[in-house]
Amino acid sequence: MFPVPLTAPAVDRRFAPRRGTVGVRRRHVLAALAVCLLALGVALNAAADTILLRSAELRADEEGYALTAEFDLTINATLEEALEKGLPLYFVLEFELVRPRWYWLDEKAISSATTYRVTWDALTRNYKVSSGLLRQTFNTLEEVQRFLSRVNGRLVARRDQLVPGVRYEAAVRLLLDGNQLPKPFQVSALTSREWSLQSDWYRWSYTP
């Protein structure tokens, strides 16, 4: 029998990890994991407060097609405090009407966005809502919420813009537009759920 060597065989240095390489890689992995966890935390924190949609429908009238919708909107304490400190809030009602096409991309027949600017007047101690030429004053925030939550017969399409007998896909949503906030508050809108107030798109089929 041959004697068993008591010393370990030599290691080929070409394939052995360099000193400190394992530690550096471990630090890189941990850093990447920390970034992922931070991003996940921001995403969870930025999950928007929900605006629920109770109902939505289109109705034909003499002028065209009118949208009626009702949302469940609550302006939270953070946004109320921002209003009282002089910061305007911008809510946007978005509506789309798409014509599906099997042979090509869907055709967007109608697309509209209505912006409501909400402010607090410290002198008169009431709230003001403006949209285009519209100007309205409210005594309480609850009145503002009710006004923003209800869409009553808003004309969204003329008679000649839709083809009778053709199926369309309608969609509507309401949201607080963080892009119109001052820059420091836009960051808050991305990372804080109190500033991320919106509804999901509500979609339904409509045939004129």
pLDDT, tens digit (0-9, with 9 covering 90-100), for 164-173: 999 999 999 9
Tell me the residue length of the chain: 208
**Token pair of 194, please?**
């109190």
What pLDDT was estimated at residue 25? 52
Q: Is residue 4 pLDDT above 50, yes or no? A: no
Q: Is residue 6 pLDDT above 50, yes or no? A: no
- d(CA 143, CA 136) in angstroms, rounded, equals 11
Tell me the pLDDT band of 36, cut-offs 50, 70 and 90: very low
Tell me the pLDDT band of 35, cut-offs 50, 70 and 90: very low
Instruction: Identify the burial level of 91 via C-beta atoms within 10 angstroms of its C-beta, where 0-12 means exposed, 13-18 middle and 19 or more buried.
Output: buried
Beta bridge partners of 202: 172
DSSP summary character for residue 161: G
Q: How far is CA 43 from the centre of its chain?
A: 12
Q: pLDDT over 90 for what percent of the chain? A: 59
**Token pair of 103, please?**
């042979």
What pLDDT was estimated at residue 185? 67
What pLDDT was estimated at residue 95? 97
Beta bridge partners of 137: 128
Q: What is the mean pLDDT of residues 167-192?
A: 81
Contacts of 99 (CB under 8 A, 6+ apart): 106, 107, 108, 109, 163, 166, 167, 168, 169
What pLDDT was estimated at residue 11? 47
Phi and psi angles of residue 120, each rounded to the nearest 5 degrees, phi first: -115, 125
What pLDDT was estimated at residue 191? 62
Tell me the pLDDT band of 54, cut-offs 50, 70 and 90: very high
Average the pLDDT over each of 18-27, 100-109, 179-188 and give the range with the smallest value: 18-27
Q: What is the mean pLDDT of residues 38-63?
A: 70
pLDDT in tens, 103-156: 777 788 999 999 999 999 999 999 999 999 999 999 999 999 999 999 999 999
- d(CA 198, CA 177) in angstroms, rounded, equals 9
